[in-house]
Chains A and B, each alone.
Chain A
């Protein structure tokens, strides 16, 4: 009787195991250091090129000639070694891996902390550093400590305007920034069935903000329907009786719109406590909230109205962008006065395209509000798409209720 992590890694919690990985990906930020470490290992070998992915998303397209040169080196390498390669404009690495490749039961490593997003597919997906990734390129495998698991039981259904992001911030607030360090989260219970794959990825995405290795959902009919669109037909994963280190119950009916107050992701307050907070920028996007469901929701709220504060929107991937173009969602967003960015991470990490200035406040749908992250002296409040959209229209932090 195992947790999903134990089942996938093939060992009991606490055990150290060596495992081949099914997919290993890096982006333009971490890929550069990975390549450097790989060269330093004195090798010219990649064990399984067909399992290795390089995706450009962090500064995409490049913001200066240094970045462009670093990306050129990595691009050339990816082509020369016959790796999967996704150039600028393709989208955020986690999103693209979820759209095309990730499968239930796989072991997936990414050189980015938000690799835990793919736990939404029932994969053991976790972030590693660049040198670990280089060793994985060489050997095709890595060591893992099978984590203990915190079971998060979701009951009932979310009530509008609460969204998956509000659920995610709520559990981060409950667990705290280190409440799941060295452990995995599993989301189970009757409330899971009504969460779309887009919503589940939002929920899994924030697992690392509690210190967790990954945040898992068991693959069910929702997962299978999503994967069937790509012609993939994996089996359902049935939960077993298992031993959780800790269990938490969350009634989805009780989830309300919340905001994470800087500089901590776990300082979570009802959004209504902060109504009227002046804003300088609203940002909708990222691996947390840049998917189609998110853009559609944004468009529904903005349609026929105008934003009163600068609002930047970054679709998570080209597929998301194309779909949103096709359904008129993008037209609604642009007509409302938003600035549309190319698919990618956008200004989340403060590198380009929406960096904030000294004393400015950004309301963001991203996953981190650390001090200075989006610009020196700026502050980041984290929220759902609905709260971001309502606030963009109000020009200050606001909710949808009125």
Chain B
């Protein structure tokens, strides 16, 4: 599993209300979530996420269990989220919807080329590399399948 993209750097403790606000939840329109992702953090950010790897600070995705948060990121074109730690429900939701999330502490600036292999053990940014905290075998399997829906279909 090889992922690459341009770094978009964000701060610590980005909560799920910041990722997708509660006022946009009552719909099944995934495109709407992608349009409004990070609106309360930076209204222009949604348009620059195609092909991005989000490089966040600790505790990314804290707050609610809303699965619209990782779905919005995925629909907006985010390739992966890398952070030193994640809130656990967000982390699990991301794997379940097929959005790669990687625990690693990296130094990075906006626009740098980032590559990561969630099975492989390292994040590469320019000529620097950072170790990752490996996913459990089950989570890797779900991610490789493209998410829990596809994983479940495969295992039926």
Residues of A at under 8 Å CB distance from B?
16, 29-30, 32-33, 36-37, 40-43, 59, 64, 66-67, 70, 111-113, 127-132, 134-135, 138, 143, 145, 177-178, 181-182, 211, 213, 264, 349-351, 368, 370-373, 376
Contacts and interface: CB of A to CB of B under 8 A. Distances in A.
A209 to B, nearest CB: 8
A178 B93 contact: no
A16 B93 contact: no
A213 B68 contact: no
Interface in B37-93: 40, 58-59, 62-68, 85-89, 92-93
A350 B21 CA distance: 9
A368 B66 CA distance: 14
A37 B87 CA distance: 22
Contact of A370 (B63, B138, B156): B63
Contacts of A129: 65-67, 89, 92-93, 96
Given A43-B156, A111-B65, A372 B17 contact: yes
A350 B16 CA distance: 14
Interface in B120-156: 136, 138, 147-149, 152-153, 156
B28 to A, nearest CB: 6
B7 interface: no
Which 9 A-B residue pairings sit nearest by Cβ, starting from the closest?
A129-B93, A178-B59, A131-B96, A129-B67, A370-B17, A130-B67, A349-B22, A113-B65, A127-B65
Interface of B: 13, 15, 17-18, 21-23, 25-28, 40, 58-59, 62-68, 85-89, 92-93, 96-97, 136, 138, 147-149, 152-153, 156
B153 A42 contact: yes
Nearest to A212: B88
12 contacts: A16-B138, A29-B66, A36-B28, A40-B149, A130-B65, A131-B93, A145-B136, A178-B13, A178-B58, A178-B62, A211-B87, A372-B40
B149 A37 contact: yes
Contact of A66 (B27, B63, B96, B149): B27
Given A33-B68, A40-B149, A264-B13, A127 B89 contact: yes
A41 B86 CA distance: 27
B26 A143 contact: no
A208 to B, nearest CB: 8
A42 B156 contact: yes
A182 B25 CA distance: 26
B23 to A, nearest CB: 6
Nearest to A373: B17
Contacts of B28: 32-33, 36, 70
A41 B15 CA distance: 29
Given A33-B67, A40-B149, A128 B89 contact: yes
Contacts of B148: 37, 131-132, 134-135
B22 A373 contact: yes
